[in-house]
Amino acid sequence: MSAIGAKSHIERREQEEALAPVDSKVENILLIDDLPENLLVYQTILEELGQNLMIARSGEEALKLLLKHDFAVILLDVNMPTMDGFETAFLIRRRRKSARTPIIFLTAFTDEVGMIQSYANGAVDYLPTPVVPEVLKAKVRVFIELSQMRRQAALQTEERVRREAAEEAARDSAFLVKAGEDLTRAQSQLELLRALVQLPLPYLSDASIAWVKKDEIGVDRVECSAVADQQMWDGLSEINITDLPWLKKAAEEVFVTGEVHYMNKVPTSSVHSDITPAIGSVIILPLVVKGQAKGCLVLVRHRSSTAYQLNDIPLANDLAYRVGVVLENVMLMEKIQEADRRKDEFLGMLAHELRNPLGPIYNAIQLQKLIRPEDPRMADLRDIIDRQARHMSRLIDDLLDATRLAHGKILLRKERCDLNRIVHQTVADYRAIIEASGLQLTMSGSKVPVWINGDPTRLVQAIGNLLHNANKFTKAGGTISVSFEINKKEKMARITVADTGIGIEPKMLSCIFGAFRQAEQGLDRTRGGLGLGLALVKGLVELHNGKVHAASPGADRGAEFIILLPIEHVENTKVRNDSFTPWNSDKKFRVLVIEDNRDAASSAKMLLHLAGHDVQTAATALVGLETARIFRPQVILCDIGLPEVDGYQVVRTIRQDADLSSMYVIALTGYGREIDQQQSLDAGFDLHLTKPIDFISLRRALALADIKLDSLDTRAP
């Protein structure tokens, strides 16, 4: 019974719908007559129709009822005292609500003039009184059925409108769901835009254009467009917004306002060689990411299509909102992918840069095993190992410093120091290397002590990095000029390092201080390095509340780097010795090593001794302090983990003792964490060295001691 039964059921229902007597709802009938006996007659006659009879005894009363109720038909007595039937009918007609309600006039005067007047006043029918009950009943029934049919028709229309709205809502939501699915597949902004411009076609637009502004330097934006039907657009498969200045302008405004822009007319006044005349209406939607319009979607309808209406905007807006969400994800994903790519690239380059010095070290060591000790090449091999190992440790230091800088973890050991001395000393220290490259090095400018609150180690590093770069990027025969100038009024010092080297392309100038910049040169790089030097200079100078900038007239035309630093005080006298010698020169110190580990003590002693310093050792804190008073060292190397009294105690005692307090005290420890370093600096150490101590770091430490001790001398009256 299933199939047939089901079918017959549907058929039956359709038949019922078609044949069913119209809504059996009770209709209102209004009876207007000033005579109660007449009203009673009409009521009696019409009662059996089963409708709702309402009575008015005057025109005024009838009008009141008409305010509250709808009537299927009105029976109106022409002859009434205050307001006659014609006037009442006129007023009924004037009201919008009752303008079309059928009125049957009832009157005894059956003359033609009266009839004509009745019709002129809005009657639809005319009955002479006394009425024939059958005639009245039949006429009223006709109007009741008419009213019922009209009501039914209105209901059906309402239903249809409702169904259509529901269908539209369902279509819209299906559209949005599909949009969501299509968009989330996108892996990049370009893919997203490609999917996006297809989506509204042809449901929402005849053509669409989307673009996203890029943050990255170089690429202005990603743009896409598509059309639903090429024929419609003169065979074009794409619409380029830059060809439509008026549209581009409107879209750019959307970027600023972040609001939907809607144009149901497009400019026609100007002369267009483009497709403007074919465009009928446009909606421009912002694609919002984190509250900012990062892109826009332009929906375009052809002139031949229905123009956009305001009620098209909510769906378009909903789409744009969803795109914004997806765009945010895609942007984040791209950012992560880019960071990941940069990281891989950097790691590859790091390995390359570390293997470069490792190669010759390895070769030299293997050769040392093969050749006889007295072979003259031995000295060369040692030099190679020395130079390359230094290069490697510089790379590693730079890498660690750059990481610390990026995480805000560089601790400045700020003290009052003489910037003049730091600049001249750094230049002196680099002179040998620079001259060995066949370059000329000149130093000019102020020579008076300039006191600043800074970390001498870090300032030396910053200036040294600039010199290192200048040396690296300038061919033999060139010149490196350093100048040091003071602006007393603005309390600023200016250090300039200028070279005649390879220079910097104008477009690169803005980004050379960014970390890992050099990395992007890929395989064409021949000069090596991690590309961290300038980032470090910038970071270190900024930690000193200073500024750096670079200038270059272009490639192969040299470059100039400027460090600006705030200063505290400038002395009027010139420095006594205005010639500086490199640190690793012959300056000798009295050095005390306080270290309980006998091997560590003796190796430190040996290293220092070889460099020509006067060295004494002590195995405990107490012996150390006693030795310090007699031996009066300029520099003390003190282990932290001493038995009984530890290194922190030693340095505190030294700092409190007027005789010893000016000594340069270096902490020796196995721990190199920031916190350990901070702890030793807090306790009063000048420097924190991590064991094992090698010759280079020892030499650097003594160089720093030299600066400090020298500045104390200069300050002494």
Partner 1 sequence: MTKNFPSEVQVLRVLVADDDESVGKTFGWMIEVLGYEARVAREGTSALSIAQSFLPDVVMLDINLPGMNGYEVCELMRADPLLNKCTIIAQTGWSQPEHLERSKKAGFDHHWVKPIPMERLEKLLISLSSQKNAA
Among 149, 170, 351, 406, binds partner 1 (CB under 8 A): 351
Helices H / strands E in the chain, number of each: 19, 23
Site for partner 1 in 386-405 (CB under 8 A): 387-388
Nearest to 625 by CA among 600, 599, 666, 657: 657
- What minimum distance in Å lies between the beta carbon of 367 and partner 1? 6
Cα(56)–Cα(259) distance, integer angstroms: 59
CB 384 within 8 A of CB 367: no
Q: Which is nearer to partner 1, 352 or 549 (CB)?
A: 352
Q: Where are the alpha helices (DSSP H) in 121-132?
A: none
Closest alpha carbon to 671 in 688, 659, 686:
688
Name 224's bridge partners: 210
Residue (355 or 488) nearer to partner 1, CB: 355
CB of 717 to partner 1, least distance (A): 51
Task: Report the residue number, 163 or 377, with the smaller CB distance to partner 1.
Answer: 377
Contact range with partner 1 by CB under 8 A, out of 176-184, 384-392, 442-450, 612-620: 384-392
Query: Residue 559 CB, nearest distance to partner 1 (Å)?
Result: 19
- Applying CB under 8 A, which of residues 359, 514, 641, 643 lies at the interface with partner 1? 359
Closest distance between partner 1 and the C-beta of residue 358, in Å? 5
How many Cβ atoms are within 10 Å of 561's Cβ, its own excluded? Answer: 25
- Distance between CA atoms of residues 645 and 594, nearest Å: 12
Asked whether position 135 contacts partner 1 by CB under 8 A, the answer is: no
Q: Which stretch binds partner 1 (CB under 8 A): 141-149, 206-214, 362-370, 463-471?
A: 362-370
To the nearest whole angstrom, how small is the minimum distance from the Cβ of residue 337 to partner 1?
17
Residue range at the interface with partner 1 (CB under 8 A); choices 8-16, 374-382, 396-404, 650-658: 374-382
User: Taking contact as CB under 8 A, which single stretch among the options 97-105, 307-315, 373-381, 588-596 is the one that binds partner 1?
Assistant: 373-381
Residue selected from 164, 168, 380, 568 as contacting partner 1 according to rule CB under 8 A: 380
Q: Is residue 382 close enough to count as binding partner 1 by CB under 8 A?
A: no
Spatial neighbors of 218 by CB under 8 A, at least 6 apart, are none
How far apart CA 486 and CA 85 sit, in angstroms, is 109
Taking alpha carbons only, the member of 471, 559, 464, 556 closest to residue 509 is 559
Which residue, 201, 277, 211, 285, is CA-closest to 242? 211
Cα separation of 577 and 435, whole Å? Answer: 22
Which residues in the 307-346 window bind partner 1 by CB under 8 A?
Answer: 344
The H or E element containing residue 467 is helix 456-472
Range in contact with partner 1 (rule: CB under 8 A) among 375-383, 601-609, 658-666, 703-711: 375-383
* Among 204, 222, 319, 381, interactor with partner 1 by CB under 8 A: 381
Compute how many other C-beta atoms are within 10 angstroms of the C-beta atom of residue 657.
13
User: What is the number of alpha carbons within 13 Å of residue 305 lying toward its C-beta?
Assistant: 24
Q: Among 49, 354, 645, 681, which residue interacts with partner 1 (rule: CB under 8 A)? A: 354
Q: What is the DSSP string of 290-311?
A: TTEEEEEEEEEEETTSPPP-GG
Judged by CB under 8 A, the residue of 26, 155, 332, 371 near partner 1 is 371
Q: Is 598 in the site for partner 1 (CB under 8 A)?
A: no
The single residue among 1, 370, 379, 476 that binds partner 1, judged by CB under 8 A, is 370
Q: Of these, 289, 327, 361, 543, which contacts partner 1 (CB under 8 A)?
A: 361
Strand ranges (DSSP E) for 587-683?
Answer: 590-594, 614-618, 635-639, 664-669
Residue 373: cis peptide before it, omega within 30 degrees of 0: no
Give the DSSP H or E segment for 440: strand 440-445
Chain length of the chain:
717
Q: Which of 358, 428, 443, 509 binds partner 1 (CB under 8 A)?
A: 358
Distance CA 77, CA 80 (A): 7
Going by their DSSP bridges, the two strands 52-56 and 28-32 should be labelled as parallel
Non-local CB neighbours of 538 within 8 Å, separated by 6+ positions: 513, 548
What are the structure tokens assigned to 373, written together? 């000790």
* Residue 367 binds partner 1 (CB under 8 A): yes
The Cα–Cα gap between 201 and 518 comes to 46
Order across the sheet with 569-570: list the strands: 415-418, 450-454, 569-570
Task: Using CB under 8 A, pick the residue from 366, 442, 577, 678 that binds partner 1.
Answer: 366
Using the contact rule CB under 8 A, the part of the chain among 73-81, 140-148, 182-190, 383-391 near partner 1 is 383-391
200 prior amide bond cis, ω within 30: no
Judged by beta carbon, residue 356 or residue 662, the one nearer partner 1 is 356
Nearest approach, Cβ of 373 to partner 1 (angstroms)? 15
Cα 635 to Cα 665: distance, rounded to the nearest angstrom: 6
| Per-residue contact string for residues 185-224; x = within reach of partner 1 by CB under 8 A | ----------------------------------------
Does position 362 interact with partner 1 (CB under 8 A)? The reply is yes
Question: Least distance (Å) from partner 1 to the CB of residue 369?
Answer: 9
Q: Which is nearer to partner 1, 14 or 380 (CB)?
A: 380
Binding mask 492-531 for partner 1 (x = CB under 8 A): -------------------------------xxxx-x---
What is the contact surface with partner 1 in residues (CB under 8 A)?
344, 348, 351-356, 358-364, 366-367, 370-371, 377, 380-381, 384, 387-388, 523-526, 528
